[in-house]
Amino acid sequence: MDNENQYSVIISERAENNLDNIVNYLLIEWNEKVKDSFLTRLKKIVNLLSIDPYIFQEYSKKKRIRKCLITKHNAMFYRIVGNTVQIITIHDTRRNPKVLKI
């Protein structure tokens, strides 16, 4: 298989807001280097999703949602619809899982 992306990846407004909050938190509580490291890791994962979105574990078979750990503190939830990967949310894994609404 060549390295061309086979799936387009879109991010929901909710996931975008979560991402902004995470980046701001990293800048305030940590530093630019930690923020950059997080974003680099996220970009690598998005690239993997664009090549093979089935690489990460299934979270909800009924809702066809998959889960990917970005870091030990952040998980990304997404679904595959045709040739599109829809990033639904990015969740802080330290929070109560009951507040996660997908």
Lookup: tokens for 47: 């690239």
Q: What is the pLDDT of residues 62-102, one digit of tens each?
A: 999 999 999 999 999 999 999 999 999 999 888 777 777 77
- Residue 29 CB-density burial (10 A; 0-12 exposed, 13-18 middle, 19+ buried): exposed
The torsion angle over the Cα atoms of residues 28, 34, 36 and 38, rounded to 10 degrees, is -100
Report the alpha-carbon distance of residue 69 to residue 10 in Å, rounded. Answer: 18
Lookup: tokens for 58: 């299934």
Instruction: Give 18-36 as a DSSP string.
Output: HHHHHHHHHHHHS-HHHHH
Q: What is the pTM of this model?
A: 0.89
CATH assignment, 8-93: 3.30.2310.20
Q: What is the pLDDT of residues 17-75, one digit of tens each?
A: 999 999 999 999 999 999 999 999 999 999 999 999 999 999 999 999 999 999 999 99
Residue 57's region, left for phi above 0, alpha for psi from -120 to 50, else beta, is: beta
Spans of all domains in the chain:
8-93
DSSP, collapsed to helix, strand or coil, labels residue 13 as: helix
Q: What is the pLDDT of residue 102?
A: 79
Q: What is the pLDDT of residue 95?
A: 77
